[in-house]
């Protein structure tokens, strides 16, 4: 008895190749998309970390400036130094209050600090001394506030609105002295570019 064998529909070789080609394209596109998302996440994380570093540095600098006190000091050679100094190399040095003393040590609550930009390492550093009036072996403690900085510039503003890249000036001394009223800082670094902040200084 003869039996009829039913044929069944299958994929041709061309159809299989086309399907494999489509799957390959989808796979490549998916891999690229995942890579782009991962790269964006890394870039966003780095930018976020950088922003936190900037905010922390500016917070420390602003806190010191807003607690400024007009108290001069003696340097390592015993020479008197003004309460506020800004030299030709861009080093900013001044006295501020609010130095915390959780251990109850016998010391003043005033602190002498300095901010300096190291062009070789491209770092903005904060220096502070453990004493106000220094002696020959007084060494500052250094803290790195910002890394990978392209430029840092400090300016002192007087009551007339004039800005100086050194201090004290002739106008800041004598009977008609113009006291400092604000400190301007201009920072330039990736990825934020140039940033300028102005902090008003307290009187006294």
pLDDT of residue 122: 94
The 3-class secondary structure across the chain, one letter per residue, is CCCCCCCCCCCCHHHHHHHHHHHHHHHHHHHHHHHHHHHHHHHHHHHHHHHHHHHHHHHHHHHHHHCECCCCEECCCCCEECCEEECCCCCEEEEECCCCCCCCCCCCCCEEEEEEEECCCCEEEEEECCCCCCCCCCCCEEEEEECCCCEEEEEEEECCCCEECCECCHHHCCCCCCCEEEEEEEEEECCCEEEEEEEECCCC
With a cut of 70, say whether residue 136 has pLDDT above it: yes
pLDDT band for position 59 (cuts 50, 70, 90): very high
pLDDT of residue 101: 64
* pTM for this entry: 0.74
pLDDT of residue 13: 74
pLDDT band for position 152 (cuts 50, 70, 90): very high
pLDDT of residue 182: 96
Domain ranges in the chain are 60-200
Mean pLDDT across 23-41:
74
Lowest pLDDT segment from 19-23, 141-145, 170-174: 170-174
> What mean pLDDT, rounded, does the chain reach?
84
Mean pLDDT across 154-181:
82
With a cut of 60, say whether residue 3 has pLDDT above it: no
pLDDT of residue 173: 65
Percent of the chain with pLDDT over 70: 82
With a cut of 90, say whether residue 124 has pLDDT above it: yes
**Can you name the CATH fold of 60-200?**
Pili subunits (3.10.610)
């Amino acid at each position: 008895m003869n039996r009829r064998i039913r044929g069944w529909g299958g994929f041709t070789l061309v159809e299989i190749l086309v399907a494999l080609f489509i799957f390959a394209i989808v796979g490549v596109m998916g891999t690229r998309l995942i890579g782009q998302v991962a790269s964006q996440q890394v870039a966003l994380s780095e930018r976020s970390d950088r922003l936190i570093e900037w905010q922390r540095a500016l917070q420390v600098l602003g806190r010191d400036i807003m607690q400024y006190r007009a108290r001069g000091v003696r340097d390592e050679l015993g020479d008197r130094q003004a309460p506020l100094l800004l030299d030709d190399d861009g080093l900013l040095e001044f006295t501020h209050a609010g130095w915390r003393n959780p251990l109850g040590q016998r010391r003043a609550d005033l602190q002498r600090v300095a901010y300096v930009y190291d062009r070789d390492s491209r770092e903005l550093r904060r220096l502070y001394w453990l004493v106000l009036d220094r002696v020959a072996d007084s060494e500052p403690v250094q803290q790195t506030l910002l890394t990978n900085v392209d430029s840092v510039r400090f300016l002192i503003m007087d009551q007339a609105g004039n800005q100086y890249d050194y201090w004290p000036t002739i106008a800041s001394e004598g009977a008609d002295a113009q006291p400092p009223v604000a400190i301007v800082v201009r920072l330039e670094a990736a990825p934020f570019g140039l940033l300028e902040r102005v902090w008003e200084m307290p009187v006294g």
